[in-house]
Amino acid sequence: MKLNLVEKLLVNNPARALVQRLYEGPLLRKLGGRLDGARVLDVGCGRGVGVQILLEQFGAAQVYGLDLDPQQVRRAQQRFAGKSEGRVVFAVGSVDKLPFPDEYFDAVFDFGMLHHVVDWQAGVAEIQRVLKPSGLFFFEEVTRAALNRWIYRTFLDHPAENRFSEAEFMAELPVHGIEPLGGLRRILSNDIFIGIAKRT
Ligand SMILES: C[S@@+](CC[C@H](N)C(=O)[O-])C[C@H]1O[C@@H](n2cnc3c(N)ncnc32)[C@H](O)[C@@H]1O
């Protein structure tokens, strides 16, 4: 589902970009390594900061950014207007029906998107489908315990049903042929977990 106004202000914000650039990007690179020459998808790309990180910090050759919200995709396109030299492609779409062929990407990134999706398991299945064998899945996700907190319930809008705990999320990956790799990190009182997994 699309973000409400408060969450849009929170994610379309220089502070969010700094966290993504200075903490999440370097941590995920440490866990999964660089992606030189790779074709990569940032699903739920928002205004495109993650796409920029994948080009600059991971060395990806080509990055696709996909988001459900056309307004966010327009913002991302503006960020790269005249600057991407064909290395960046944006599209509007949903993670549970990815508009890409099977085994198309070397890596897929989920920077805080799947907890916005009611049928997030279908999203995981689609991520597996578009990953090449041995392709990497990088994720940063928010737990049910976090979404149940007063502050999240009051100010933000998330699907009410089928939320996941860290354990449920990690257990779902192998069901779809994606094996978690070591090094899972937890931040903000375990509200957010960050890790990598590999398509078998
Ligand atoms: C919390 S924001 C994160 C944005 C960006 N990745 C970041 O880290 O700043 C979640 C994003 O996922 C998008 N989104 C929500 N449901 C989606 C779906 N079913 N498929 C693709 N994108 C979705 C939202 O529009 C939003 O841009």
Distance CA 108, CA 42 (A): 6
Distance CA 66, CA 61 (A): 17
Distance CA 146, CA 151 (A): 9
* Predicted model pTM: 0.96
Q: How many residues does the chain have?
A: 200
The CA-based diameter of the chain, rounded to the nearest angstrom, is 45
| Distance of CA 68 from the midpoint of ligand 1 (Å) | 7
Q: Are 94 and 67 in contact (CB under 8 A)?
A: no
> Tokens standing for 196?
């990598």
- pLDDT tens-digit map of 168-188: 999 999 999 999 998 999 999
Q: Are 38 and 60 in contact (CB under 8 A)?
A: yes
* 124 pLDDT higher than 90: yes
- pLDDT tens-digit map of 42-98: 999 999 999 999 999 999 999 999 999 999 999 999 999 988 888 999 999 999 999
- pLDDT tens-digit map of 4-55: 888 888 888 899 899 999 999 999 999 999 999 999 999 999 999 999 999 9
CATH topology of domain 5-13+36-199: Rossmann fold (3.40.50)
Atom of ligand 1 nearest to the CA of 1: 16
Q: How far is CA 14 from CA 19, 40, 43, 139, in A?
A: 9, 24, 20, 21
Task: Using CB atoms within 10 Å of the CB of residue 115, give its burial: 0 to 12 exposed, 13 to 18 middle, 19+ buried.
Answer: buried
Strands 192-199 and 185-187: antiparallel
Ligand 1 within 6 A of 116 CB?
A: yes
Task: Using CB atoms within 10 Å of the CB of residue 63, give its burial: 0 to 12 exposed, 13 to 18 middle, 19+ buried.
Answer: buried
- Kindly report the protein residue whose alpha carbon is nearest to atom 4 of ligand 1: 46
From 11, 54, 64, 113, the mutation candidate for ligand 1 (largest count of ligand atoms within 8 A of CB) is 113
